[in-house]
Structures are given as C-alpha cells and as structure tokens.
C-alpha cells in the first residue's frame, strides 16, 4: 500500500541558507538524546563555547549557542544591551539592518538611523558625524548583509566606537565561519550568528558572544531585560559553572554544532577563509564572463553570499522554479527593494565548492536560455576554471 506521507526531496542548497551539510554533521545528529543537565552533555556545551571563541575572534567567557535561529541571537543582543531611553545609532543598508531597527524600537530605545543604499555599506564618515553630535550607548551594524551581499568594513568604525566609548552590536549571521571576524580586535561587545550558514549545521541555534563590558551593562540596567528566555544573565548561569536549569537545550543540535566546529578546526580558519574567497572569485569571474552583472562593487562583495543582477526581461520566479524542479537547485530571490532584481547565491560552509560553482553556472545558463536570454557559458566556464586553478 502506497504511503501518502510527504517526503523531503534531496536538494542542492545554494541560497542564503540553510546550506548543504557535511555527512559527519548528519551523523552527529543521530547520536543518542540525553538530558540537558547530564554531566556528559554539559561537557559538550563547554566544548562548543571553546571552539566558537576562535571563530568569533574572541576570548569572551560568555560565548555559546543560544536557543533559536539567528533572529533569536539578534534579539538576545538587542534585548540585553538596550533598555528604554538608551540612545542607539542604527546602521541600515539592507533588510536585516532594518530588522535590528525594529527590535531596537520595541525596546523603546531612542534610535538614530543611518540609512544607506541597499548594495553599499555604511560610510564610516556618517557614523563619525553622528558621534560628534551626540553620545550613543550602542552602534548596531550588519557585518555581512544577507539581503544584499555586502561586506561591511569594520576597522574605521571600530576606532570611532572606541574613541567615543560606544558599544558595538554586530550581526555576523552570514560571515561567521566563512569570513574572518575579529570581535576582540574590533571591540565588539555583542555579536550573534546562526548555525545553518557558514558554520554548516541545521538551523535552530544562534552562536552569541558577549564582552565583559556588555555583561556588566546588562547587570546594571534600570529595567529588567524584557526577554526572560534570552536574558544573558540567566543563560550564563546555565552555560557557566553554576549549571542552573534554564531551558531544555537540544542535545541533537548541539551535537551537530560541535561536529561542525570540529570540521572548522581541522580545516583551519585561514584555509577555510581562503576556500570561501577562491570559490567566490571563481563564481564572479564565471558569471561576468557569461555576460551577467553583480550587484555589489568588488571591494564590498561578500565571499559567502553572491548577488547577481537579474537581466532585463527575465522572470525571477520562473528561473528559480525551473532550477528547483529540473536540477533540485535552490537559490534565493531578492528581499525588500531588491525583490525581482537580484538572485542570492550562497557559497557557505560545505556548499562552498568548485563543483557547486560550475553546476550553478551551467544550470542558470540553461534556465536563462529558455527565456530567450543568451549567455556565453563556454567563456564563463573558462573564466571560472582559471580562477579555481589560480
């Protein structure tokens, strides 16, 4: 008798996330479920924190994986650092910078916006001008804007924040594990990410790190932290030496995260960053040689999330539907003001490979041809291969 049980298809994931997962991480997911206060499990949480620190570029004691997706990490950082009346400089150059703004406003903090064109980073000069006019408790930034493929340069902003005594809250959702993050060197006080992108896990966990200054600030608030679940003081009592029950932590997801972090450690961070950069350069070289254009200027492009302009007259949804149905290939469409204008192509973690670069180009070329948009696949393949051989 045939079953009508729905089954998940096997896809090639090259969108903004989740991405393909290494077989060892899948295997880790099948480990036995144990209690969230089991001494053996608490050692796993300790190891997760230990291996996350070099990936964040920090020695922060409070570094671990909060429950929930990257958005819960965002809310944890915002809710712990901000309270009603706090002055916040919110830098928005994409969809997720604006999500931070919405969370800041829900905390009843006083947000001053620096809005930039989607596809360009925030100009440090505008931050400097704002800091000269007023004092801000926190500056919020997106390091790797998932909606646009923009990488935000941090050095100048880090110097400005230090000079004016402002804390920095940083979104590293699409950078952590694929691009170098220097939390301590940049003076980052709170940063968050997710498990399903460059780290290489299923979704469901949000790596976070809080500086000692941020922990002190959270402890000296005039108002209670509005989120009980994401109160970093309570989470720290569970992650730290006190081992106070907080929530039913997912052993399965943390097994997977630990294995993914072990894979990162084995590859070496510098090698991992180089792999992501090489595959990104190959994809860009190939796409441009095919006759297509990228959204972001070369100096601000993310190696992990590539944004390709949709040619005039091409139907975005029709292309992505064809790729999914014909090749089991998932790529992302644009968000917000970029909806229908770009494709978002992820090369993150296990999905960042030469094979995926070439597969994407050939599949996209065919999808475009069916809409009467001709591309030079031979030239694109040659350009991509030359970049991969470099």
Residue 254 domain-assigned? yes
Do residues 247 and 272 both lie within one domain?
no
What total number of domains does the chain contain?
A: 2
Residues 309 and 345 in one domain: yes
Query: Are 295 and 173 within one domain?
Result: no
pLDDT of residue 96: 98
pLDDT attached to residue 122 = 98
> What pLDDT score was predicted for residue 2?
56
Instruction: Please indicate, yes or no, whether residues 107 and 62 belong to a single structural domain of this protein.
Output: yes
Claim to verify: residue 128 and residue 182 sit in the same structural domain: yes
Q: Does a structural domain hold residue 56?
A: yes
Residue 301 in tokens: 């492009």
Q: In terms of domains, do 181 and 272 share one?
A: no
Provide the pLDDT for residue 315.
98
Would you state the pLDDT for residue 4? 79
Task: Report the pLDDT value the prediction gives residue 3, as an integer from 0 to 100.
Answer: 66
In tens digits, the chain (390 residues) has pLDDT values of: 456 788 889 999 999 999 999 999 999 999 999 999 999 999 999 999 999 999 999 999 999 999 999 999 999 999 999 999 999 999 999 999 999 999 999 999 999 999 999 999 999 999 999 999 999 999 999 999 999 999 999 999 999 999 999 999 999 999 999 999 999 999 999 999 999 999 999 999 999 999 999 999 999 999 999 999 999 999 999 999 999 999 999 999 999 999 999 999 999 999 999 999 999 999 999 999 999 999 999 999 999 999 999 999 999 999 999 999 999 999 999 999 999 999 999 999 999 999 999 999 999 999 999 999 999 999 999 999 999 998
Q: Name the residue among 276, 279, 280, 286 with its Cα closest to residue 365.
A: 286
List 208's β-bridge partners, or say none. Answer: 64, 192
- CATH code: domain of residue 361: 3.90.1150.10
> Are 212 and 260 part of one and the same domain?
yes
**Residue 294 falls inside a structural domain:** yes
Across 223-248, b (16+ Cβ under 10 Å) vs e yields eebbbebbbbebbbebbeeeeeebee
- Which pLDDT score, from 0 to 100, does residue 6 have? 85
What's the domain range around 105? Answer: 23-266
Flag whether 189 is in a domain.
Answer: yes
**Do residues 52 and 145 both lie within one domain?**
yes
Domain contains 91: yes
Domain final position from 214, 240, 266: 266
Asked if 230 and 275 sit in the same domain, the reply is: no
pLDDT of residue 158: 98
Q: Please, what is the Cα angle at 90 between 89 and 95, to 5 degrees?
A: 175
Of 229, 244, 266, the residue that ends a domain is: 266
Pick the last residue of a domain from 222, 249, 266. 266
Pair of tokens at residue 108: 């009843």
Q: Are residues 308 and 255 in the same domain?
A: no
Kindly state whether residues 316 and 369 are assigned to the same domain: yes
Same domain (yes/no): 66, 191 = yes
Residue 28 lies in a domain: yes
Q: What is the predicted pLDDT for the residue at 332?
A: 98
Considering the domain boundaries, does residue 378 fall inside one? yes
CATH of the domain at 80: 3.40.640.10
The whole-angstrom separation of Cα 303 and Cα 283 is: 10
According to the model, what pLDDT value does residue 5 have? Answer: 81
Predicted TM-score (pTM) of this structure: 0.96
Residue 17 lies in a domain: no
């Amino acid at each position: 008798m045939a079953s009508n049980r729905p089954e998940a298809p096997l896809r090639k994931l090259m969108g903004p996330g989740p991405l393909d997962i290494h077989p060892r991480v899948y295997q880790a997911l099948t480990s036995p479920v144990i209690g969230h206060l089991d001494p053996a499990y608490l050692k796993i949480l300790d190891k997760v924190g230990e291996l996350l620190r070099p990936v964040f570029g920090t020695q922060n004691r409070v570094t671990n994986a909060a429950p929930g997706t990257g958005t819960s990490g965002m809310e944890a950082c915002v809710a712990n650092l901000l309270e009603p009346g706090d002055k916040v400089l919110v830098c928005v150059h994409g969809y997720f910078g604006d999500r931070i703004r919405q969370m800041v406003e829900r905390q009843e903090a006083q947000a001053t916006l620096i809005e930039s064109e989607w596809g360009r980073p925030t100009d440090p000069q505008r931050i400097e001008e704002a800091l000269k006019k007023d004092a801000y408790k926190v500056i919020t930034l997106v390091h790797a804007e998932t909606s646009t493929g923009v990488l935000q340069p941090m050095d100048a902003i880090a110097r400005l924040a230090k000079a004016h005594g402002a804390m920095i809250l940083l979104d590293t959702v699409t950078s952590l594990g694929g691009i170098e993050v220097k939390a301590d060197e940049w003076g980052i006080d709170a940063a968050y990410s997710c498990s399903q992108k460059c780290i290489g896990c299923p979704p469901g966990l949000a790596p976070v790190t809080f500086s000692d200054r941020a922990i002190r600030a959270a402890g000296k608030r005039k108002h209670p932290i509005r989120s009980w679940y994401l109160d970093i003081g309570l989470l720290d009592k569970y992650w730290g030496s006190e081992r106070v029950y907080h929530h039913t932590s997912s052993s399965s997801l943390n097994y997977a995260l630990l294995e993914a972090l072990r894979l990162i450690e084995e590859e070496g961070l510098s090698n991992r960053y180089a792999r992501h950069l090489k595959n990104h350069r190959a994809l860009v070289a190939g796409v441009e040689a095919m006759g297509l254009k990228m959204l972001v200027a070369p100096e601000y492009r993310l190696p992990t999330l590539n944004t390709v302009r949709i040619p005039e007259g091409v139907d975005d949804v029709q292309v992505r539907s064809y790729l999914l149905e014909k090749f089991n290939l998932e790529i992302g469409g644009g968000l917000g003001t970029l909806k229908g204008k770009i494709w978002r192509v992820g090369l993150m973690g296990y999905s960042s490979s030469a094979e995926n670069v070439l597969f994407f180009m050939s599949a996209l070329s065919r999808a475009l041809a069916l809409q009467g948009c001709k591309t030079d696949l031979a030239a694109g393949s040659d350009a991509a291969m030359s970049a991969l051989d470099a």
